[in-house]
């Protein structure tokens, strides 16, 4: 049986898009599920659109997510001889021809066609040049491109694993360029030659490449290459069903990582964009995905990329990791450290306090600020809405006395809660009379984790300093 080999073939023209990650992930999963190989290939033949270092950044971002190429990563720009050879062969076999038309002539032609309400299409001006004419032009230094000659009156038929059969009339296709005048191949030629040369069994890519499929099939046939299985993945959509935006902040994988999204959450969510496991299971670690992924469960309908759902996954993973408390918790801590600045050494404690309340680690810095720096607050805030000044004073003074008696070694939520509840019972206070001012005293806020949690976090000394400060305000 043929070995399963898949590839992710990004053009280094920018950041890794969520859609790119989805393609890379599906290709990776299919290869791994079948004990095959996954290949990253850099498609850098469009020299005008190259961005310096974009290739390395794409590779690094994928590596952070655990998606690595099983073979040395190749750049198409290093393989020009291969495409040249294929182009020569296509010319020799009469499947392609040189076109010397100037850009001006092509422009003129197109304008005319548009005026006549024709679909713009190369008029085959150079199709029948004689060998002598061609040689003369080459000797004279005239530039040319190579065009694929679409067979007349042929219906091109193809098969896609997701979208099924396609069939398209040859006359609806243009004699497309396969080799540019700078001797670089176009995407069509390079990707077919490479997919063949790299023995790719499954070409997995976004639906936007579907229109290229008939052209690719023609090249495969002309070069007598066996066809791979084509797998086009459904479009990604915004929640309003428009095509997923290209605005970097919303779709750049690197930005999500910088914002502290967890790798587990990103992979889990992206895996579900256009694929479903066929049951209600929602949580998949990479290993589960490798086991359960299948091409049959890829949907045709566009998949909505919804950040709220991604946030939900992220929150769930943060919670799970804290509860499980295994080595992933250490990773979570070091991830959290980067959002806590000078308080990064407290990351573990902050995570325990806030982990179940956030959906993103980047919220930690802002949310935990008051723990390290008590914000100023108005003394009125200390009085619970169903209480009054006198009761508040009495309660908080009693609390100070009781808390002061707790030994350092017993300074924890349980002891703190028991001692405060004791006061409530003995003095016939309502919980609000005492817990409320304690919360405000410790946080300067009306909403926060519970007072006992705060008191424990702050430690006895700092906690009592804050309580005394509140008492002073009330005096």
Which are the catalytic amino acids?
246
CB of 10 to ligand GLU, least distance (A): 5
Which range touches ligand GLU (CB under 6 A), out of 5-13, 247-255, 295-303, 372-380? Answer: 5-13
As a whole number of angstroms, the distance between CA 366 and CA 363 comes to 6
Closest CA to 21 of 201, 175, 252: 252
Locate tokens 């997510």: which residue?
65
In order, the DSSP letters of 116-167 are TTPPP----TTTT--HHHHHHHHHTT---EEEE-PPTT-EEEEEETTTEEEE
Q: Of these, 10, 234, 260, 444, which contacts ligand GLU (CB under 6 A)?
A: 10
- Chain residues 27-46 in contact with ligand GLU, contact rule CB under 6 A: 43
User: What's the rounded Cα separation, in Å, for the pair 426 and 357?
Assistant: 33
- Is-contact 156 220, C-beta < 8 A? no
Q: How far is the CB of 265 from ligand GLU (least distance, A)?
A: 25
Q: List binders of ligand GLU among 249-278 (CB under 6 A).
A: none
Which one of residues 15, 163, 209, 372 is an interface residue with ligand GLU (CB under 6 A)?
209
What is the nearest approach in angstroms of ligand GLU to the Cβ of residue 204? 8
Interface size with ligand GLU, residues (CB under 6 A): 7
Residue 27 or residue 343: which is nearer to ligand GLU going by CB? Answer: 27
| Nearer residue to ligand GLU within complex by CB, 9 or 265 | 9
- What is the residue-wise DSSP string for 340-400? SGGGGGGHHHHHHHHTTT-S-GGGHHHHHHHHHSPPP--GGGGS-TT--HHHHHHHHHHHH
**Environment class of residue 266 by beta-carbon count within 10 Å: exposed (0-12), middle (13-18) or buried (19+)?**
buried
Backbone angles phi, psi at 206, to 5 degrees: -70, 155
Residue number with CB closer to ligand GLU (27 or 335): 27
**Pairing relationship of beta strands 74-75 and 37-42 according to DSSP bridges:** parallel
Among 4, 5, 6, 9, binds ligand GLU (CB under 6 A): 9
Residue span binding ligand GLU (CB under 6 A) among the ranges 9-17, 268-276, 315-323, 463-471: 9-17
11 belongs to the binding site for ligand GLU (CB under 6 A): yes
Of residues 178-197, which lie at the interface with ligand GLU (CB under 6 A)? 191
The SS3 call for residue 333 is: helix
Q: Which stretch binds ligand GLU (CB under 6 A): 4-12, 226-234, 238-246, 283-291?
A: 4-12
DSSP bridge partners of 165: 159
Taking the complex as a whole, how short is the minimal distance between the CB of residue 202 and ligand GLU, in angstroms?
A: 11
Which of the ranges 6-14, 91-99, 278-286, 318-326 carries the binding residues for ligand GLU, by CB under 6 A? 6-14
Question: Residue 49 or 125: which CB sits closer to ligand GLU?
Answer: 49
> Whose CB is nearest to ligand GLU?
205
What is the smallest separation between the CB atom of 213 and ligand GLU, expressed in angstroms? 10
**Smallest distance, ligand GLU to C-beta of residue 208, A:** 8
- Cα angle value 4/9/11 (rounded, 5°): 180
Q: Given the rule CB under 6 A, which residues bind ligand GLU?
A: 9-11, 43, 191, 205, 209
């Amino acid at each position: 049986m043929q070995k399963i080999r898949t590839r992710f073939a990004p053009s280094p023209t920018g950041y890794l898009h969520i859609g790119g990650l989805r393609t890379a992930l599906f290709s990776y999963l299919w290869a791994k599920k079948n004990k095959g190989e996954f290949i990253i290939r850099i498609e850098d033949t469009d020299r005008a659109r190259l961005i310096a270092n974009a290739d390395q950044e794409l590779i690094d971002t994928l590596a952070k997510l655990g998606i690595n190429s099983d073979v040395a990563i190749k750049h198409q720009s290093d393989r020009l001889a291969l495409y040249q050879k294929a182009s020569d062969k296509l010319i020799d076999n009469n499947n392609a021809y040189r076109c010397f038309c100037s850009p001006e002539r092509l422009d003129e032609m197109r304008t005319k066609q548009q005026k006549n309400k024709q679909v713009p299409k190369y008029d085959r001006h150079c199709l029948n040049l004689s060998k002598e004419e061609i040689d003369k032009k080459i000797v004279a230094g005239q530039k040319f491109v190579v065009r694929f000659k679409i067979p007349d009156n042929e219906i091109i038929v193809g098969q896609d694993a997701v979208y099924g059969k396609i069939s398209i009339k040859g006359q609806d296709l243009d004699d497309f360029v396969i080799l540019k005048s700078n001797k670089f191949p176009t995407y069509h030629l390079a990707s077919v030659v490479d997919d063949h040369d790299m023995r790719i069994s499954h070409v997995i890519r976004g639906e936007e490449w579907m229109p290229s499929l008939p052209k690719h099939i023609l090249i495969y046939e002309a070069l007598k290459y066996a066809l791979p299985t084509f797998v086009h993945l459904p479009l990604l959509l915004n929640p309003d069903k428009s095509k997923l935006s290209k605005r970097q902040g919303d779709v750049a994988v690197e930005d999500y990582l910088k914002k502290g999204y967890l790798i587990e959450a990103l992979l889990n969510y992206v895996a579900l964009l256009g694929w479903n496991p066929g049951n209600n299971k929602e949580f998949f670690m990479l290993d589960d995905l490798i086991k359960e992924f299948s091409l049959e469960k890829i949907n045709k309908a566009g998949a909505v990329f919804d950040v709220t759902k991604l946030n939900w996954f992220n929150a769930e993973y943060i919670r799970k990791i804290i509860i499980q408390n295994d080595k992933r918790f250490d990773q979570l801590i070091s991830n959290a450290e980067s959002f806590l600045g000078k308080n990064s050494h407290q990351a573990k404690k902050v995570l325990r306090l806030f982990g179940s309340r956030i959906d993103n680690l980047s919220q930690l810095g802002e949310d935990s600020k008051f723990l390290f720096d008590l914000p100023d607050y108005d003394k009125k805030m200390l009085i619970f809405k169903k209480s009054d000044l006198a009761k508040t004073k009495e309660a908080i003074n009693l609390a100070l006395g009781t808390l002061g008696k707790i030994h350092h070694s017993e300074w924890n939520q349980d002891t703190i809660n028991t001692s405060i509840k004791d006061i409530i019972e003995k003095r016939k206070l309502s919980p609000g009379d005492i817990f409320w001012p304690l919360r405000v005293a410790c946080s300067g806020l009306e909403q926060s984790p519970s007072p006992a949690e705060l008191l424990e976090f702050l430690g006895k000394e700092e906690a009592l300093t804050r309580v005394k400060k509140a008492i002073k305000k009330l005096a």
